[in-house]
Amino acid sequence: MIVAREVKFSYEKLLVLKGIDVDVVRGEVATLLGPNGSGKTTLLMCLCAILKPLTGCVYVNGREITKIKRGELAKMLGHVPQGHRPPFPYTVIDVVVMGRAPYIGAFSMPSKRDFEIAEKALEIVGIRHLKDRVYTQISGGEMQLVLIARALAQQPQVLLLDEPTAHLDFKNKILVLKVVKNLAKKENLAVIMSLHDPNLAAMFSDKVYLIADGVIVDRGEPSKVITRENLKRVYGIDVNVIEHEGTRFVVPVLE
Amino acid sequence: MKKLKLLVLAVLPIPAFFFSLVIGQFDIPPLTVYEIFFTKLFNPLISSPWPPAYEVVVWNIRLPRVLLALLVGASLSVSGTALQGLFRNPLVSPYILGLSWGANFGVALSLLIPLPFSPQFMAFSFGLLAVFLAYSIAKVRGETPVISLVLAGVIVSAFFTALQYIAKFFLDPQALQGLVYWMMGGFYLAHWDDVMVTCIPIIFSVVMLSLMSWRINVLSMGDAEAKMMGLNTELNKVVIIVLATVMAAVAVSVVGTIGWVGLIIPHLVRMAVGPDHRKLIPLSATVGAAFLLVADDLARSITTYELPVGILTTLSGVPFFVYLLKKTKGRSWS
């Protein structure tokens, strides 16, 4: 569904992505895992054509992404930004209905049907009851869900999330990632997200791309990728990997 | 209750209009004023039972002035609202990109050197030139980040301020006084011609920006997000800036740089009806129109000679704004 081939990217002269390949199909959750500054966010921005790769290509549904018009791309690919504060206190439903923008002409307003689709999106992520609340007055976890619902209102086949768990508490991290995983299965979306925490990556991904310094160190099922050796290589710390009821947990070794 | 509030704000210019027609130095009974107005409106050929001077005052002095105040009020307010939404910044007014200083310099130049153009035309073209310069300075690799635009506006304003001081330095005292009056802004020279010149671009821009109001909601989330929601942000930005600038430049060229209306009315309306531009843009037009009209009523009636209305918009706006800011604790911005 979404494929990257040999993507390289540089800011000025600093090469940030050094030839990256990604393949994600519908119904699959892929996680980009890696330390700060490894190139996760840059890669996500290349995958949604906000940044243009130096060399290499990104394909969505077999088409080269730079050849797809913005308006059309927005119907194929939804992007969930990191939690943010918008300048105006719009209501939740008004924020979500903005996801209908690619379907609405420059001089038109969202129709009743657009509001229905937006409400459905809120229902899918389980926060329909927040619809008339003010977006800037809800919790961080709820905000993240609103932004996911907004991306869903675009009715995309690919969903990209930039650190969806940043600044969330323990419970909200789990809540948001459960929603994301469910979406991939039930709405048959190809999902790519970036995460910091190897444990959350192991719990909620079908596939992990371990990234360090602009290259993919390892890729595949979490159980194959999240290993002692790999984490030592990427993060430079010693860890133990424990298995509990089929799930793997990473525990740092403290001396 | 909510619907009633919207309705009241939407029809506000109507009572303001009828109230303002009877205000003036020349004493005419209110009923006669309305009689003259409706007779001239529906039956212009009927012979008049009232003194001809009455008709001149109502139809050729008060009416164009009232209509011009409505148009300019709507223009500056809608321009300010659209730009505040686009720039996501509460300090933005129609003059943020250098429009007013460009226009001031244009007028100063026309007073300094004999040119084949009217001061109005000079104000209009130099106002637009200033905004165009600001936009060009801010544009880097096909994109114009909001912060660059605001900074470019500051730079261009400073540039035209300096030029304007040079022009002032060489102006004779009488021309200088004319320039100062023009800069304060007012409607004392309002004429039917002014109404005719301004009404088409202003009404056109108000309608277009009202139609684009939902787009402004999406754009107010920021460039990156608006792009991901499928918008051509650069094109949208240019269209909105052009509409907001042209409408304000038309207003400024005819009545001078009236301050504060374009800054304060967007805030007032946002505090009253919330941040959704679908309501905000059209209601800024009606509230702004009514506000400037009433301000002008005061300007021409509280003293025996005219005060520049720009002084009154600022003086009346400040305390009201402080009150609202305290009351809402700035909640209409997050």
For chain A, which domains are there? Answer: 1-73+156-255 (3.40.50.300), 77-155 (no CATH)
Return the pLDDT at B215: 96
Give the pLDDT of residue B49: 83
CA atoms within 13 A on the CB side of B319: 3
- Nearest-by-Cβ selection for A74 from B224, B228, B333: B228
Q: For residue A75, how far is the Cα from the chain centroid?
A: 16
Q: In sequence order, what are the residues at sequence separation of 6 or more whose Cβ sits closer than 8 angstroms to the Cβ of residue B261?
A: B73, B76, B77, B80, B288, B291, B292, B295, B313, B317
Residue of B nearest to A84 (CA): B221
The answer on pLDDT for B273 being more than 60 is yes
Pairwise CB contact (< 8 Å): A86 & B221: yes
Q: From CA A107, how far away is CA B95, in angstroms rounded?
A: 25
Cβ contact, residue pair B221, A98, below 8 Å? yes
Taking the CA of residue A31 as centre, how many other CA atoms within 13 Å lie in the half-sphere pointing to its CB? 27
- Residue B278 has its nearest CB partner, among A89, A102, A109, at A109
Bridge partners of A55, per DSSP, are: A8
Note if the pTM is more than 0.90: yes
Q: Is the CB of residue B83 less than 8 Å from the CB of residue B244?
A: yes
> Cβ(A31)–Cβ(A195) under 8 Å?
yes
* Six-digit token string for A136: 């800037």
Are A17 and A9 in contact, with CB atoms under 8 Å apart? Answer: yes
CB atoms < 10 A from the CB of B1, how many? 4
Summarised one tens digit per residue, pLDDT across range B141-162 is: 878 888 899 999 999 999 999 9
CA angle B219, A132, A97 (to 5 degrees): 35
Between A87, A91, A102, which is nearest B229 by CB?
A102
Question: Which helix (H) or strand (E) segment is A212 a member of?
Answer: strand A207-212
With b for 16 or more beta-carbon neighbours within 10 A and e for fewer, the A161-188 pattern comes to bbbbbeebeeebbbbbbebbbebbeebe
Walk along chain A (255 residues) and give the pLDDT tens digit of each residue. 899 999 999 988 889 999 999 999 999 999 999 998 899 999 999 999 989 999 999 999 999 999 999 999 999 999 999 867 778 999 999 999 999 999 999 899 999 999 999 999 999 999 999 999 999 899 999 999 999 999 999 999 999 999 999 888 999 999 999 999 999 999 999 999 999 999 999 999 999 999 999 999 999 999 899 999 999 999 989 999 988 887 778 999 887
For B172-219, what is each residue's pLDDT tens digit?
999 898 888 888 888 988 999 999 999 999 999 999 999 999 999 999
| Per-residue pLDDT at B332 | 63
In chain B the domains, ranked by start, together with CATH numbers, are 29-328 (1.10.3470.10)
Do A48 and B228 make contact, defined as CB atoms within 8 angstroms?
A: yes
CB A151 within 8 A of CB A120: no
Instruction: Using CA coordinates, name the residue in chain B closest to A86.
Output: B221
Of residues B271 and A193, more confidence is placed in A193
- How much is the pLDDT for B26? 85
Give B329's pLDDT tier (boundaries 50, 70, 90).
low
Query: In this predicted structure, what is the pLDDT of residue B2?
Result: 83
Structure tokens at A209: 């791309």
Asked if B67 and B194 count as a contact pair (C-beta separation under 8 A), the reply is no
Distance CA A200, CA A202 (A): 5
